[in-house]
Amino acid sequence: MSFTVPTEPTRELEAVPNPHPGREYVVRCQTPEFTCVCPRTGQPDFATVAIEYVPGPSIVELKSLKLYLWSYRQEGAFHEDVTNRILDDLVAAISPRRMTVRTEWLVRGGITTTVEASHP
């Protein structure tokens, strides 16, 4: 069996049809491996990203979500901005009924940060 291993991150989120569009249910995705770069110092920032949503017509394909989150690795971004951008991009891609994105950032300079953004 042959398969292609992705070598590049991408900002393309793939939507797939919701297999149960008539039912309201909750999807939770979480990764403790999110990284980006501090826009002031260039040092890496590490976070756990938790996404919770009630699907509308589509759900997010998980491999595309993984590659999307990977795309932030070398980008300078403030915690508040990146959390809201992830929410905005997911809402645009899958049109959920409701969604919350929560990021919990590791200690930097003695301060931990948690950011939560919701739709609608």
pLDDT at 7 over 80: no
pLDDT tens column, 59-92: 999 999 999 999 999 889 999 999 999 999 999 9
Nearest to 53 by CA among 19, 73, 29: 29
Q: Which of 29, 36, 45, 89 is catalytic?
A: 45
pTM score, two decimals? 0.91
Q: Domains along the chain?
A: 15-113 (3.30.1130.10)
The dihedral sign for the CA sequence 32, 34, 38, 42 = positive
89 is catalytic: no
88 is catalytic: no
- Integer Cα distance of 26 and 10 in angstroms: 26
pLDDT tens column, 8-34: 888 999 999 999 999 999 999 999 999
Question: Do 88 and 51 meet the contact criterion of CB atoms below 8 Å apart?
Answer: no
